[in-house]
């Protein structure tokens, strides 16, 4: 339901920290536990997506994922202020961008890459998060951060080239698949930063639920076309994958991420991605037998190094005397 009134929803997270507080605050034990849980949830997302794509085409799996997630997210809005009509265009655009473009691009990328490659490329999302946050907050991007972005891109190229024609059908990767995943990382990062801005005004529940609903609706025409033209098999494995992606990644993971971004500095929240590739690569190797060569590990080191550089902050200023 929509209404003409709006009121910020503060029950899901505290008010955002002011920029000055970001320099002094340390993550609480609760925040660290949330970051560890999020790393595990998102680390498994690409391998599980790969599992679902073995029998379902990309748009269908993505739509099934959000068909499961959207009702759960809407339940979270029960009793909350209704969404005002004036906010509708932003929520529609947010959903189409994050799901209709970002999540769909990720699914198409995973089809053409190994789960290990997909995991590492998706780990670059926080690089873009930091840069988009810097742009929105009018902060200067340092030379080290630019170097980090360059290192991450070189690492992506090495990771993608490390799974070529010699790999088996499931583990083979292509540069076009890597390009899809890079586009996905870019778009999803902007989606997250924009989500935080809208969350401050309308609350995490509204942002998660309504953007997911509109994103899901945007998928439906493509799903109809895909079901008509592609082989589809709703196996127990595919349904399980969709349930995990819908409940754990899209519901639990999204709320954890939005709340982390509102309670700790962006660069600290984004550091969760250091563990995400470790979890994802280990799971991919166990599930699909991905063969990890020297180029792959060199690329992973460059990506992780790029993440570290991209999240460096400017030198701390000495506090003024009272």
Predicted TM-score of the model (pTM)? 0.77
Q: What SS3 class is residue 3?
A: strand
Task: Provide the β-strand partners of residue 3.
Answer: 84
Q: Which residue has the tokens 């409940």?
A: 247
CA distance linking residue 153 with residue 164, whole number of Å:
18
pLDDT (tens digit per residue) in 120-161: 888 888 778 777 877 775 656 677 777 887 888 788 777 766
- The residues, ordered by sequence, that sit 6+ positions from 197 with a Cβ below 8 Å of its Cβ are 136
Query: Does residue 45 or residue 168 have the better pLDDT?
Result: 45
Q: What SS3 class is residue 84?
A: strand
Phi, psi of 159 (to 5 degrees): -60, -45
Question: Which of 115, 99, 130 has its CA nearest to residue 249?
Answer: 99
- The residues, ordered by sequence, that sit 6+ positions from 58 with a Cβ below 8 Å of its Cβ are 104, 107, 108, 110, 111, 226
What ranges make up the beta strands (E) of 71-151?
Answer: 83-84
Question: Which of 56, 48, 106, 61 has its CA nearest to residue 219?
Answer: 61
Residues 153-179, mean pLDDT to the nearest whole number: 69
Is the pLDDT reported for residue 321 higher than 50?
no
Q: What SS3 class is residue 317?
A: coil
Delimit the domains of the chain by residue range.
44-310
Q: What is the largest CA-CA distance in the chain?
A: 70
pLDDT (tens digit per residue) in 31-67: 778 888 888 898 899 999 999 999 999 999 999 999 9
Burial bucket for residue 41 (CB in 10 Å: 0-12, 13-18, 19+):
buried
């Amino acid at each position: 339901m929509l209404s003409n009134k709006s009121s910020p929803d503060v029950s899901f997270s505290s008010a955002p920290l002011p920029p000055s507080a970001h320099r002094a605050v340390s993550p609480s034990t609760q925040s660290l536990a949330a970051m560890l849980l999020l790393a595990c949830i998102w680390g498994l997302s690409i391998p599980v997506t790969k599992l679902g794509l073995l029998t379902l085409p990309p748009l269908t799996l993505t739509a099934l994922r959000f068909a499961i997630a959207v009702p759960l997210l809407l339940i979270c809005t029960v009793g909350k202020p209704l969404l005002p009509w004036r906010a509708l265009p932003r929520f529609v655009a947010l959903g189409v961008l994050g799901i209709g473009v970002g999540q769909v691009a990720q699914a198409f990328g995973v089809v053409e890459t190994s789960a290990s490659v997909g995991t590492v490329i998706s780990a670059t999302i926080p690089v873009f998060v930091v840069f988009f946050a810097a742009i929105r907050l009018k902060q200067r991007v340092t030379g080290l951060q630019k170097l980090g972005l360059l290192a991450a891109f070189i690492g992506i190229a090495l990771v993608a080239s490390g799974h070529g024609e010699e790999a088996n059908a499931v583990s083979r990767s292509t540069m076009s698949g890597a390009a899809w995943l890079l586009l996905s990382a870019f778009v999803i990062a902007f989606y997250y930063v924009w989500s935080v801005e809208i969350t401050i005004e309308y609350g995490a529940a509204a942002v998660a639920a309504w953007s997911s609903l509109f994103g899901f609706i945007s998928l439906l025409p493509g799903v109809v076309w895909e079901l008509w033209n592609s082989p589809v098999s709703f196996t127990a494995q595919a349904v399980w994958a969709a349930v995990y992606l819908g409940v754990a990644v899209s519901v639990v993971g999204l709320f954890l991420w939005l709340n982390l971004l509102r309670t700790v500095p962006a660069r600290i929240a984004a550091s969760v991605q250091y563990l995400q590739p470790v979890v994802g690569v280990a799971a991919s190797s166990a599930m699909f037998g991905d063969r990890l060569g020297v180029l792959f590990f060199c690329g992973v080191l460059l990506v992780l190094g790029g993440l570290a550089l991209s999240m460096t902050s400017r030198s701390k200023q000495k506090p003024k005397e009272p």
